[in-house]
Structures are given as structure tokens and as C-alpha cells.
Amino acid sequence: MNRNRLFGESSTCIAVIGNHLPRQCGIATFTTDLLNALCSEAPDIKWWGMVMNDTPEGYPYPQKVRFELDYKNISDYRLAADFLNMNQVDVVCLQHEFGIFGGQNGRHILELIDNLRMPVVTTLHTVLKDPDPVQKSTLEDIGQISGRIVVMSRKAEEILKESYRIPKEKVSMIHHGIPDVPFVDPNYFKDQFGVEGKKVILTFGLLSPGKGIQHMIDALPEIVKKNPDTRYIVLGATHPHVKRNEGESYRLSLQRRARDLGVEKHLIFHNRFVDLKELTEFLGAADIYVTPYLSKDQIVSGTLAYALGTGKATISTPYWYAEEMLGDGRGRIVPFQDAKALAEQVNDLLDNEIERHALRKRAYTFCRNMVWKEVARSYMEIFAEVKRERELRPKPVFLAKTLDEAPPELPQPKLDHLKLLTDDVGILQHAKFIVPDRSHGYCTDDNARALIAVLMAQEMTSNGKELKELACRYLSFLDHALNGHKGFFRNFMGYDRRWLEETGSEDSHGRAIWSLGIAVACSKSESLTGVALNVFERSLKTTADFSSPRAMAFALVGVHAYLRKFSGDSEVRRVRACLADKLFKIYQANATDDWPWLEDTVTYANGKIPQALLLSGQWLQRGEMIEAGLRSLKWLVHIQSDSKGHFVPIGNRGWFSRNGERARFDQQPIEAQSMIEACVEAYNVTHDKKWIEEARRAFEWFLGRNDLNAPLYDYTTGGCRDGLTADGPNLNQGAESTLAWLLSLLSLHQLMDAEACAKHSIESIEERHE
């Protein structure tokens, strides 16, 4: 049968979104196998892969992969939607797993599928029984957008019915696919793996601690006591994400465990990712297959499906998929983390050949409708159904989004100049044009800012290893900068690594506290968090003596970040209350109706003051602080606005004194940055979108919407010019300006991502109430 007839025309194109080999993960294997099966069943249809990259360089994909996305870059999801729409793809098949997409709980994928004109069929690889609110909302939004939801187990159907608002008529059950291999005697393949004449137990898949292999190793002493000719093969590379963060520590711990138990002669590790042909041969050689997983909440397992499909006698812990697949005498179930039960069941099957072969036959027979050919046909029938259903509705007219409808575009973070300014000590303060200037050395101010920037960037870029290395460098500088005898940070260090002072300014100390609080809250590394926590605690007490309002504000922003992570820390809560009260009293003492400011002169980084007041007012539940923050921020917006509508930072050649003239130049990037961060916080408090507009207006100052229509951001380097003078941009690209740009850009990206997520949630709620 020509499956293309299901669609009625030869130009049909269907795209499958997920991962793809050679990337090593379960979704990549599934998507690759599904695409191959679909291509075999309907070679006249165009089958495209659309994949998520978790590394900047991507992977050497085959030709059927037509589009690659940086999974953390929300703009790529919008471009992918445009690509599919403009190529008039007929159906999109999404492989959904929370962890492979960017955004909170993978919500970036909504930005793609919600902008598609063709029907979407979504396969769920994870269905959580007790999701958190964002996970639940994400899955329900996907269900709302999708024409069909495919699950791979009856348990998944049950959970969707009980826990999610997804119409049951949308849900279809299609088994996980398996290779179509003959039912063979395990002895046929044993010689090629050096286990001829042995009883072979096998576990395969990407290694991670959740696999529970340690419990199978714990069972081996009892197994080999009764069956000394047993060999346990652990087949598979360490999961790339585990290896990236923990190296081979799990595999090495398993090997040590085996040696300690004296079973090293019975254990074989194959530390590699094998192709399908070799995998089926390994499976063919196994007498017993074991999945000793630790979590109940596993709704599907490709490794278990493959093992049953090759006719393996299988023993497993009682995760959901195993309970379903091994029912009716197709396998054996043992309790979680129970080595004794594992040993008993393995020995029983090894000693009872008739029962072992009966299990094998029941499993093999049950799985015949799971071979990839049948699975591909089932998917194609669903593709045809959703396409027919869509054709019965009025055809949506494709209208390109006008500028007011499309999400605002932002440049992508580019860290080239940041890295150029950074050496093995930290980030250098200044540059001559783009060339790092060593004569001025380093400062705590800039290394604190740089630490914040790279920690924020980890949510925007997939180059985590490089960002972690940079973060270590900047955090090391801050650790060294703290003068333990005085409890104060030193600020300036010469290029010869000698400190130029015993104590720095209060402002530099406040910025350090700010960065350390962010590090505690945002670092994905326990080691980084541990160091940041230690330096934060050792340097916090000094803030009680601050007299500088900006130093208080910088510190308060860091303290609030810290308390997001450790909200119960009473001592830090007291510091927050004390600093916030001091800052507010300074404001009250100086502010008037026509001068709502806490000093007689408006100088630099002014936005940090209202930002700190807004944060403090929210968390201390003090409405007067919030009112003061909004009032002062509105005033700052007013005095830094040109009649033509663009942002005009207070100039540092005279500043702006009460009853005086406002200096127009030189305009500094740090002021735009602080206003952006304050406006974002004002939006968080009020949900008034005018604050988003003000944040964007300040941001556009960097891009050339300013007094001289001159861009400060350098697209070629990723750096930022050192301010706007009356004669034009200062062409040097030092650390402060470059970091002000990066922090502004990253803040806007975070805001836009949050806005996109909120938009989908609101639309989903409205649709449910229609």
C-alpha cells in the first residue's frame, strides 16, 4: 500500500521535532528510529527532522535533519515556526520531554507550536502524576494546541485523564517502537562478545545514578554463589549531561562496588553508545535482561521495550511502564532497591530453563504489534486523521505578522569581548578601542558584574562549560578581594596582582554582595554556590555600617536574590530589613513633591535605588516603600526623556543637582542598565506594560536611539563603547560598559521569555473558559 495516498498528494511534507542521532539521548534514538520507519513506509513523502542542540557546535546530522535550534534561544523557536509555515509542511509531530526544550519546564516549545498553521501531533515521553503548576500548565497548553496526543502506555492515558485538562478524544495510544528481529537462542551471539558458555545478564542504556545498577551489583554475590558461570554486562556510555557535570564518577563507583564485593570477574562494562545492529546482537546474547530503576514515575522505557521485543526474560523494579509491560506473565517484578529479591529472581530463572523460555516467548509474541513498521503505520493514520480534521475547518489564511504583532527582536548574547577582556586573574577594567589595557589592572566592581552576567547567560546559551569556567574566575577574584581582617572588599588591583588599597568603596562592597547573592541563587554548580555562600556570609555584616545609598541598594538586590534560595535565613532577613529601612529613611528625609529623590544630586546607577525599594517593599510587605520606589522611578524616567521620545541618561559632566541644570553628556551605559533593571522590577510589581516599554526605550539607547543616533553596541565584537560624548561614542570598549550592555540584554531576554510564557498561560486559561 502506498501510504502517501492517505494524504492525497505527492508533495506531502511532515516534520518531526525532537532530537536526533548522533546526539546521545533517549529522545534522539526514538526520533531517529521513528523517522527511519516512516521513511521506509512512505518513501515518497518528505520527512524532515527538526532538532534541539545542547552544544553551540551542534552535531553532524544526516540530510533528513532540516533545521537546528539552540534549545535555550527562544528566537530560534519563532524562526522554526516561520520555517515550517513558509515551507507549507502538512503535519508536525512533536516529541515532548520537558528537559530537551528551553525555558521554565521547557515552555519555549509553546512559542514554536502555537505559531504553526498545520496540525500538531505530540508524543509524550514523560507524563507526571503530580506535576508542579508550571509543568501542568505546559502540558495542558500543548494538549490544547495539539490535534492528537500520543502516549505509549495505558498508565499514561489514565494519568492524563485524572490530572490534566486534555480531552480524552484527543489521546491515542501507540506503543514504543522496537526493531523487528527474529526469536533466537541467546547462545547464537555469545561467542562474538566473549561470553560463550556463560549465563548472561544484561542492562543497557545511557548510565546515570537513577538506573539503580548498584543494586544489581549488590545482588551478584548471591547470584554467582549459585551460578558461578554468570556474567553481568552493563552496556552504554554515561549520559552526556551526567558526564558533563560529574564525569565518570557513577561508573567508577559501580566498579569499586564490584571489586569490594569480590564480583569483578563477573562484571563487564562496555562504555560506549552502540548502534542498532550491535545493540540487537547484545540483546540476542542475553539470557536475562534487568532494569533495576529507582523511580516509580517512569511512564515509558525504550530499553525495556527493546528487550521484550527481542524476547528476553526480564526482571524489573515496579516502575509504571514495567508493571504494565511485564504483566500477564511476561516478566518478573521485584521491589525497588532490593538486591536480595533481584538475586532470588535471577537465580530462579537461571535454574529454570523452561520457565525462562516461556517468559521469553510470551514477551516476544506480545510485542509483535510494536515493531517500528506497525508503529509508523499507526502514526501515519493519525497524521492523516488530523490533516482531514483540519481540512474540514475553514482554512486559516496565512498573514505575516506585522511589526506590532511580532515579539520584539533582541540581539543574541555575544560574549567574545567579555572573554577577550578576561585573563587568568579576572576581567581587566579598560580597553584601548577593543584591545585590553593592562595598565589599569582589575577591580572588584567589574568582576562582580561579570559574575552576574555569566550566571544570567547560562539560561540563554548552551555553552555551559565555558560559562562555568568564567564564573569560577570571577568568583575567585571576589574571594581573594575580601580582606578578612577588615571584613571589607578591596577594589583595585594592579596588573602585577598587587592590591592598591586595603579597603575599597562601599559601592564596590555592595556590588560584590549583589553578585554573590545572585551566585547563590542562580549557580548550577554546588561548588560555585558553596564558595559564593562562604564569601557572602563573611562580607555581609559590614553592610550594617553603610552610609552610601547606592551601596545599600546594590547589597539589597543581592540579599533578595540570596533569600530566594534560602528564604528562612533569619540573620540575612534581619540585614535586609535593616538596610531597607535605612535606605527608605534617607529617601523620606530628602524627597519632596518636586524632587522625589534621596540626594540633592542625581548621579550614576540611579535606577538601583527604586529597584531596591521595590524589592524590599514587596518582601517586607511595606506599601510605602513600593510607592516610594515607583514614584522615584517615574521621576527618573521623566527627567531622562527627550521630547522626541528617546532615553537620555544624566551626563557625568556635572550630573543634575536640585535647582540646577541637567548635564547632557557624557552619557554612561551603566545608567541605561540600572534603569532597565528597575523598570523590569516595576513591571513585576505592577504588571503595567508601560514599564516594559520604558525598559525597551532605555535598551534602545544602546542600539542608536539616542541624542546622536549612534549605536553604542558593537555587533562585531559583542562589546559596548564607553559612553556617548557630545562628539560621538567613546570608541574604547571597557569592562563596565560591555557588562552594562550584557546585563541589560540578558535582563530584556529574561523579561521577554517570561512574557511569552505568561501570554501562553493567559490564552490557555481564556480558551478553557470559553
The rounded distance, in Å, linking the Cα atoms of 582 and 506 is: 15
* Position 28 pLDDT exceeds 60: yes
Average pLDDT over residues 231-256: 90
- Each residue of 404-436: pLDDT tens digit? 666 678 898 999 999 999 999 999 999 999 999
Mean per-residue pLDDT of the chain: 93
Least confident of 102-111, 118-127, 337-346, 445-454: 102-111
Using the predicted structure, report yes or no on whether residue 764 has a pLDDT greater than 80. Answer: no
- Asked whether 503 and 486 are in contact (CB, 8 A), the reply is yes
Measured on CA atoms in the order 467, 468, 469, 470, is the torsion positive or negative? positive
Q: Is the pLDDT of residue 11 over 90?
A: no
More confident residue, 721 or 55: 721
Mean pLDDT of 671-700: 96
Identify the helix (H) or strand (E) that includes residue 78.
Answer: helix 74-86
The CA distance from 29 to 93, in Å, is 15
Q: What digits encode the pLDDT tens for the residues 163-219?
A: 999 999 999 999 999 999 999 899 888 999 999 999 999 999 989 998 999 999 999
Indicate the pairing of strand 46-53 with strand 13-18. parallel
In tens, the pLDDT along 610-668 reads: 999 999 999 999 999 999 999 999 999 999 999 999 999 999 999 999 999 999 999 99
Rounded to 10 deg, the angle between the 526-540 and 506-522 helix axes is: 150
The DSSP call for residue 352 is -
Mean pLDDT of all residues in 726-741: 97
Residues 565-587 pLDDT 10s:
999 999 999 999 999 999 999 99
Q: Is the pLDDT at 765 greater than 60, yes or no? A: no
Residues 531 and 608: their CA atoms lie apart, in Å, by: 26
Phi-psi region of 487 (alpha: psi -120 to 50; beta: other; left: phi over 0): left
What gap in Å lies between CA 748 and CA 700, rounded to an integer?
11
Cβ–Cβ contacts within 10 Å for residue 667, how many? 27
Q: Which three cell numbers stand for residue 405?
A: 504583532
Q: For residue 518, count other CB atoms closer than 10 A to its CB.
A: 23
Peptide bond into 82 cis (omega under 30): no
Q: In this structure, are residues 315 and 349 in contact, taking their beta carbons and an 8 Å threshold?
A: yes
Q: CB of 303 within 8 A of CB of 204?
A: yes
Q: CB count, 10 Å around CB of 624?
A: 12
Return the bridge partners of 200, or none.
231
Beta-carbon count within 10 A of 544 CB: 11
Predicted confidence at residue 70, as pLDDT, reads 92
Torsion sign over Cα 243, 245, 248, 251? negative
Residue range 667-689: average pLDDT? 96
> Can you read off the three cell numbers belonging to residue 368?
509483535
pLDDT of residue 768: 45
Q: What local confidence, expressed as pLDDT, does residue 245 receive?
A: 77
pLDDT beyond 50 at 1: no
Judged against a pLDDT cut of 50, whether residue 4 lies above it is answered with: no
- The better pLDDT of the pair 397, 217 is held by 217
Q: What band does 262 get if pLDDT is binned at 50, 70 and 90?
A: very high
- Among residues 297, 332, 292, the alpha carbon closest in space to that of 312 is found at 332
What is the Cα–Cα distance from 127 to 442, expressed in whole angstroms? 50
Query: How far apart, in Å, are the Cα atoms of 399 and each of 53, 87, 368, 492, 760?
Result: 30, 14, 46, 56, 20
